[in-house]
């Protein structure tokens, strides 16, 4: 069983939900990203998503776009992110890490690194612009490495396609709560519960976690009522961005936000 699978099995045995924070790797620096990962593990995160900065992040809203551009401007590249992951593993970080990326930077990384062996230390990959229908070789390579392949489902996903997405997915299925790009929202769709239950029916025993738009404790609590976990990205990114611009302690600002948001 993968590290992600073990974590969800543990959560299920404890009747708990997963908290999955998203970080743009390298914003404000790779060093601070490492500090944030250590803090998040200490504060009870269950999985960390590390976003790979990319010049054309079509799934990301303004907050994550700005973070990616800042990281790119500082020279952050995928090989540096993987070096950070190896460093964290050497220090004993046991939290599952999911690489959140697009196909072009992943393909380039694999070319430079000599294949999927370069991803040692990564537990899952979510490639936002790679649909399951075009991911046969990617899935096989990840399976050989023991890496989970996480795919997206959305309100616009046709019901008849949902079982196919679930079959291609391992670790957990990521359900996008709202149409559009990432970004914290005050409220989510009124029919979220119905939609998530339909996804869970198609997913079977596969955990379903909800992301895009979760930025408050109330919204996170609502998601936890029906899903197996929640993802927080842009709202956390906003905190990191503001603290960095003010010259505040980014890690402590993020810690305070997480403690206020987590409804579990």
- φ, ψ (nearest 5 deg) of residue 122: -90, 135
Q: Which residues pair with 22 in a beta bridge?
A: 49
Give per-residue pLDDT as tens, 48-103.
999 999 998 777 889 999 999 999 999 999 999 999 999 999 999 999 999 999 99
- φ, ψ (nearest 5 deg) of residue 112: -70, -40
CATH number at residue 206: 3.20.20.70
Residue 210, classed as helix, strand or coil, is: strand
In terms of DSSP H, where are the helices of the chain? 3-13, 30-42, 62-73, 78-90, 103-113, 136-145, 162-168, 192-203, 217-224, 234-246, 250-261
* Mean pLDDT of the 113-138 span: 95
Give per-residue pLDDT as tens, 162-171.
999 999 999 9
Q: Which of 60, 123, 228, 241 is catalytic?
A: 60
Q: Evaluate if residue 187 carries a pLDDT over 60.
A: no
Q: Is 49 annotated as catalytic? A: yes
The pLDDT > 90 percentage for the chain reads 87
pLDDT band at residue 181 using 50, 70 and 90 as cut-offs: very low
In the chain, how many domains are there? 1
Query: What is the reported pLDDT for 147?
Result: 98
Q: Evaluate if residue 183 carries a pLDDT over 50.
A: no
| Structural domain harbouring 173 | 3-261
Q: Which of 27, 41, 43, 49 is catalytic?
A: 49
* Mean pLDDT of the 181-196 span: 69
């Amino acid at each position: 069983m993968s590290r992600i699978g073990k974590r969800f099995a543990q959560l299920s045995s404890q009747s708990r939900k997963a908290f999955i924070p998203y970080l743009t790797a390298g914003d404000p620096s790779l060093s601070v990203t490492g500090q944030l990962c250590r803090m998040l593990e200490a504060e009870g995160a269950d999985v960390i998503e590390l976003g790979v900065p990319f010049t054309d992040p079509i799934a990301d809203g303004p907050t994550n776009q700005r973070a990616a551009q800042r990281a790119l401007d500082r020279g952050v590249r995928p090989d540096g992110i993987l070096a950070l992951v190896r460093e964290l593993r050497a220090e004993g970080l046991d939290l599952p890490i999911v690489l959140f990326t697009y196909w072009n930077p992943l393909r380039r990384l694999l070319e430079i690194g000599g294949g999927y062996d370069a991803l040692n230390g990564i537990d899952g990959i979510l490639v936002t612009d790679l649909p399951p229908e075009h991911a046969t070789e990617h899935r096989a390579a990840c399976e050989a490495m023991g890496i989970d392949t996480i795919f997206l489902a959305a309100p616009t996903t046709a019901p008849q396609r949902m079982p196919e997405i679930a079959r291609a997915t391992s670790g957990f299925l990521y359900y996008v709560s709202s149409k559009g790009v990432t970004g914290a929202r005050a409220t989510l769709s009124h029919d979220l519960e119905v939609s998530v239950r339909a996804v869970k029916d198609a997913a079977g025993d596969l955990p379903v976690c909800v992301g895009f738009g979760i930025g408050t404790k109330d919204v996170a609590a609502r998601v936890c009522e029906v899903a197996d976990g929640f993802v927080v990205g842009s709202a956390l990114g906003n905190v990191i961005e503001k603290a960095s611009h003010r010259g505040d302690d980014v890690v402590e600002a993020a810690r305070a936000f997480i403690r206020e948001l987590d409804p579990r």
